[in-house]
Amino acid sequence: MATEPTPIRAAPAAPDDHARNPGLALDMDWIRGVQANTSAIERRAATLPGRRSVKKAWQAAWLLRAITLIDLTTLAGDDTPGRVRRLCAKARQPVRPDLLEAMGMGPITTGAVCVYHEMVETAVRALEGSGIPVAAVSTGFPAGLSPFRLRVAEIEESVKAGAAEIDIVISRRHVLTGDWSALYDEMRTFRAACGPAHVKAILATGELGTLRNVARASFVCMMAGADFIKTSTGKEGVNATLPVSLTMIRAIRAYEAATGVRVGYKPAGGISKAKDALTYMALMKDELGDPWLRPDLFRFGASSLLGDIERQLEHHVTGRYSAGYRHGMA
């Protein structure tokens, strides 16, 4: 018989429960030896949604954990301070108190709030005292094609404004042309510019061509000191997918086996349903284990995902599905 879930506490202020990735010298022999068996990866990924299923109280517990893994995000051209403040209020209280009380839960928060640089100070003020970090997208997000010195300066300005995490975008051309030294040097420079802020390297996997390129780019960014590797900006035609995730997760596993260093993972773009979050969490548990089911090593880049999770939790408590508009983000 399933027991009631143990209460889940608020997410930590920053991913600091383990040593940061210091990086290592670029090992071209390692990079050249990296392969990706696309057909095997796709077969394994196709089995994932049906292989793991949690129900009732266990499902509610997993969904509550998923909330603590969300980088609640707004990256729209019409963002305003008011919208960001409302999003931060949602990050502080992502689930209605009556639902938490019915499940015997204490307060929880999302993993972070993610915004453009222009909104960092607004978000930092709105989240003061909550322990929720602000993540800023940077380096000419989403294309990463602005002048290099400006990309570095943008990182520095966001850190100065209070961002505890920086989501950088790599130059895809370095991957597509196989210029791994240039990608490594770029990532090392971005890592240095971040200073104390944790850095998430966005690979824009939908634009890298092959899973082998995804795997090699993952290793190069980790060698250069990335604290997280992230699938997408959310602006590409193809964003997070299970084959890409499996490729990147196994690169993380191999990197830890070789160096003893744990690197985090962030799928982003297109993950909007609670059932999808459960699939990704099951994948992390299967491939990397329980440590990667915590916000210091796993995040979802999402916004609408939270609304669907809250809707599923209301169904768990009441037995009825509510309208989506009852669970607005901001």
Q: Does a cis peptide bond (omega within 30 degrees of 0) precede residue 81?
A: no
Give residue 87's Cα distance to chain centre: 17
Asked if residue 230 lies in contact with residue 266, where contact means CB atoms within 8 angstroms, the answer is yes
Q: Which one of 71, 90, 227, 230 is the catalytic residue? A: 230
249-268 mean pLDDT: 97
Can you say whether the dihedral through the CA atoms of 116, 206, 71, 315 is positive or negative?
positive
Give residues with Cβ within 8 angstroms of 177, minimum separation 6: none
Tell the residue number behind the tokens 């399933």, with chain if given. Answer: 2
Element (H, E) at 108: none
Q: Is the pLDDT of residue 54 over 90?
A: no
Element (H, E) at 157: helix 148-161
Q: Which one of 71, 90, 167, 296 is the catalytic residue? A: 167
Q: Is 72 helix (H, G, I), strand (E, B) or coil?
A: strand
Q: Which one of 90, 200, 227, 266 is the catalytic residue? A: 266
38-48 mean pLDDT: 93
Q: Is the pLDDT of residue 17 over 80?
A: no
pLDDT digits (tens, 9 = 90+) for 107-148: 999 999 999 999 999 999 999 999 999 999 999 999 999 999
74-91 mean pLDDT: 96
CATH number for domain 28-327, candidates 1.10.10.10, 3.40.50.2000, 3.20.20.70, 3.40.50.300: 3.20.20.70
Per-residue confidence band for 320, with pLDDT thresholds at 50, 70 and 90: confident
The reply to whether 71 belongs to the active site is: no
The reply to whether 185 belongs to the active site is: no
Residue spans of the domains in the chain: they are 28-327
Helices (H) and strands (E) counted in the chain, each on its own, are 13, 8
The reply to whether 167 belongs to the active site is: yes
**How many CB atoms neighbour CB 83 within 10 A?**
17
Q: Is 20 helix (H, G, I), strand (E, B) or coil?
A: coil
DSSP state of 268: B
